Amino acid sequence: QVQLVESGGGLVQAGGSLRLSCAASGRTFSSYAMGWFRQAPGKEREFVAAISWSGGSTYYADSVKGRSTISRHNAKNTLYLQMNSLKPEDTAVYYCAAGGSIVALTTKSSNSWGQGTQVTVSS
């Protein structure tokens, strides 16, 4: 397993931007596909975006497509999520997770989750 710690959340006005980071421990980060998820109060955790182990493939939920970019720096063991044009409905706790593939992550299949970082978008 890989240990994950998210950061970069905060309070932002609608239309603003945030960049989330996910720091991974261990030497196996580059062997995992990685994903971002979010959970709003009273709602189920939902898939946001995923990236292959090499960074060569990405996949986004329709709700964030065109506004967000997932990326990774394997030498730094870090995953990122750049979010632009934020909306109040993006308010949630954001989690990163490691998985075997992008497909697996879209089904929330992961044994390694971070503790989450809060994103709040005010209108």
**What pLDDT, on a 0 to 100 scale, did the predictor assign at position 26?**
77
DSSP 96-112: EEEES-HHHHHTT--SE
Q: Is 99 exposed, middle or buried (0-12, 13-18, 19+ CB in 10 A)?
A: buried
Q: What are the tens digits of pLDDT across the range 45-93? A: 999 999 999 999 999 999 999 999 999 999 999 999 999 999 999 999 9
Is pLDDT of 16 > 80?
yes
